[in-house]
Structure 1
Amino acid sequence: MRFDLVPMPDTVRARPRDPRGYPVPAITPWEEEQPQFALTDYGRSADCARGRLCSVCNQLMPKGLVWRVVGATESAAIAEALAAGRPYRNMTPTLEGPGHRACMLYASMVCPYLARPNARRGLSADGGSELTAHVVRGAARGGSGAVVGFADYEFGITPDQVLFRFVDLVEFLPHEAADEHLTELRAELARHQPR
């Protein structure tokens, strides 16, 4: 699905755009006036963590539930735990911060890498981190991804990284191609329209 056909949350609409028209997430660094979508800006990520701001739209997230988009490996682990009737908690930290449900549904559909299993990364992440060793130019997402809701998040800020953990799984929305979330995104946006 073309990104310009995906319904956009109002908070995302206010974000800066790249030359193609894609909204730039709050944690994305800029270099020479170009967003670096595969990278995470340390300062912006730390600000979002401390201020409980959505990593996509940079607006306050209410206390309680948060969402994130996960790739094939974590999506499969969650599905396996749920199928076995076990609770799921990934103790491995991630660099990806939380966001609003609508923002994460939107991001899963608009980001070319998140949206399709055959999509490939356009850039490699900064080197030197175990957490980003798999984030290399040309790597395919593979398998199914998911938009996942959690009761809350924890974070730690080191001298060179902002690390997140997510606690108490509350929603699991898997997808092969993220446009499967179109109905859910429309319903989420409708729930939050002023009446």
Structure 2
Amino acid sequence: MRQIDLLRHGETERKGVLLGRTDAVLSELGWQQFEKQTRNREYCIILTSPLKRAREPAEQLANARNVQTRRDKDWAELDFGAWDGKPVAELRKDAEIAQALDAFYRDPNASGPPGGENWTTLSDRIALALGRLLEAPDEGNALIVTHAGPMRAALSLACDIPLDRVWAHKIDYGTRITLRFGRVDGKFWGEIIEIVQP
């Protein structure tokens, strides 16, 4: 079994928009949230999404603590395609897009945003990322600095929670979820140790 901290990046300078692949920097509060969630926590490795809202604080922490860090594109946020970087309120003004958004969040197999990916595709790449983590030597706790979408997919996979049910878990900016997981009979098996809101 391996123990990991899944940490959603802190608040960004861009609020109210669908932040998938659109890059944004952390706000001052976002940096404070990150520092609070990692204070007094020990890590042997830090994995990070390549997006700067996750990457910059992860690499700063790794440098400060002399811990190995690695960027992993599979931990990037879901690609919202044509909706990416747009205000949700603005998108919802279009009845057709509002209906597509509702279907997208309700059904993991629904079509993703135009030019983007759906939840099942995200889940597939998180399964690859979790598998790589389990294959690596376990030298202690790992920190994964990522986004809400990948965290939901990881919970779904590790704890056998249907993707359309992981919305019951609040994952706000700066949320940390400590998870112990491994494989049992070839399938992921995990348990949530704690969920700490910022």
Tell me which interval the TM-score lies in, with the shorter structure as reference length: under 0.3
TM-score by length of 2: 0.27
Identify the structure with the greater helix proportion.
2
